[in-house]
């Protein structure tokens, strides 16, 4: 359980870094105006999920690089974007996704899984995912 919390903390920090970099992508100090910062806007996917509430950062394809996972609250499914190049991969076609997304190796099989609200998406490798819901009782 401690490993999951450490992974969660690392994922949260990584997500924060990605969010900041997305806001000030290509951050550079301006020589003409010391103290100001210029930035470049980078569009990853114009046709991505609608109302992308859920976001996570992590290596889900075992290539050693963190990718992005985005879930739409109003449609568009759950998508992963492979780093570099931001190649788009559909994980789940339908459904509404909230804000609680995380990447962690839940079952300790060497592949990072996805935790979404009360769902666990087990990474079966090769782009396949098994969906498990929390069982109450």
Instruction: Give 108-119 pLDDT, tens digit per residue.
Output: 999 999 999 889
DSSP 84-137: TTTEEEEEESS----S-EEEE-TT-SSS-EEEETTEEEEEEETTEEEEEEPPP-
Q: pTM of the full predicted structure?
A: 0.68
Residues in the chain with pLDDT values less than 70: 1-34, 135-137
pLDDT at residue number 108 = 95
């Amino acid at each position: 359980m401690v490993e999951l919390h450490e992974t969660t903390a690392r994922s949260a920090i990584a997500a924060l870094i990605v969010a900041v970099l997305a806001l000030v992508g290509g951050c550079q100090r301006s020589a003409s105006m010391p103290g100001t910062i210029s930035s470049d806007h980078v569009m990853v996917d114009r046709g991505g999920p609608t109302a992308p509430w859920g976001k996570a950062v992590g290596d889900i394809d075992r290539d050693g690089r963190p990718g992005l996972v985005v879930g739409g609250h109003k449609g568009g499914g759950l998508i992963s974007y492979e780093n570099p190049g931001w190649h788009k991969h559909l994980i789940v076609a339908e459904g509404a996704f909230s804000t609680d997304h995380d990447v962690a190796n839940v079952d300790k099989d060497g592949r990072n899984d996805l935790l979404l609200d009360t769902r666990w998406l087990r990474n079966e490798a090769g782009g396949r995912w098994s969906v498990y819901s929390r069982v109450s009782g």
